[in-house]
Amino acid sequence: MGKFLPFYKKVNIFTKASEEARDFSRRLKNWLNSYAIESNIFENLAELESDKNIKGTDLLLVVGGDGSLLIATRRVAKYKVPVLGINLGRLGFLTEINADEAFEKLEEILSKPLCISRRMMLRASLIRNGKKILEADVLNDVVVNKAILARIVDVAVYVGDRYITTYNGDGIIIATPNGSTGYALSAGGPIVYPMMEIFLVVPICPHTLTDRPLILPNMEPITIELVHEEKDAWLTLDGQEGTQLRYGDKIVVKQSPYHAYLVRSPRKNYFDILREKLGWK
């Protein structure tokens, strides 16, 4: 690797809590410092969310897999900080570059204006007995399903104030285009170009075969209502945060006021990534 002239002054690092990721992050920090780029390593989310720590950050590097990137992106979205993932995981749809190519790619990325992909996020609110008890922004998906997968959960779904149907099955996914290559894809949903701004409604193993995935405009909220008493129904946000649901609970999903700003490799487009990750020819 030769010397390059960095375009940025402050590049922070959020690392997965593993020895491999910590090790790589320390190497990355030393490399950035050698180019007089200020850099700090964060593993604790409270540190990452601190105004003092995130202020002035030109770029956040996330060392780990897609899960680590989802966590970090949700926390810094309100600051509009661009995020670039370095993949130490397996599939890694969102983590743009792999560890073995990271330093070479970063030379190119950090020497010019960033190529940024603006991604829609969702805001999910859990309403219980008329009161909002939880609100969170997510990048990929909002999921209602059963902890015991052999059981069926019934959820009524509305767009705006209009009833769509009641889904009977393992659950339902409300996803962004960014999340279309996540759980929604495994459940039979379509792959959607990630910079579009629409909602995906994907039933999970529906009992009725005519219940198919829907693509809906993002202008009106989607409401999911638990219509029967269920002991093991859960709300899961981006596959990471879970809350047990009760009969009568409503989950209202709308577009978040925030967007995620994901950095793209200048030499790799979205379809290159699909071919690489899905083994397309």
pLDDT on residue 167: 94
pLDDT beyond 80 at 23: yes
Structure tokens belonging to residue 218: 């993002």
- Separation of CA 111 from chain center: 27
How much of the chain exceeds pLDDT 70, in percent? Answer: 96
Strand 41-42 to strand 11-15: parallel, antiparallel, or no bridges (unpaired)?
Answer: parallel
Q: Any idea which residues carry the catalytic annotation? A: 66
Distance from C-alpha of 225 to C-alpha of 126, rounded to nearest angstrom: 10
Distance from C-alpha of 195 to C-alpha of 198, rounded to nearest angstrom: 9
pLDDT grade for 91, boundaries at 50, 70 and 90:
low
- Dump pLDDT digits (tens) for 143-167: 999 876 657 889 999 999 999 999 9
Contacts of 211 by beta carbon, 8 Å cutoff, 6+ apart = 165, 167, 168, 169, 203
One-letter amino acid for residue 25 of the chain: S
pTM of the predicted protein model = 0.91
- Dump pLDDT digits (tens) for 107-125: 888 988 889 999 999 999 9
The domains of the chain, with CATH numbers, are 11-113 (3.40.50.10330), 121-258 (2.60.200.30)
What residues does 137 pair with on adjacent strands?
A: 123
Phi, psi of 273 (to 5 degrees): -65, -45
Distance from C-alpha of 276 to C-alpha of 11, rounded to nearest angstrom: 28
Structure tokens belonging to residue 228: 């029967």
**10 Å Cβ neighbour count for 152?**
16
pLDDT grade for 66, boundaries at 50, 70 and 90:
confident
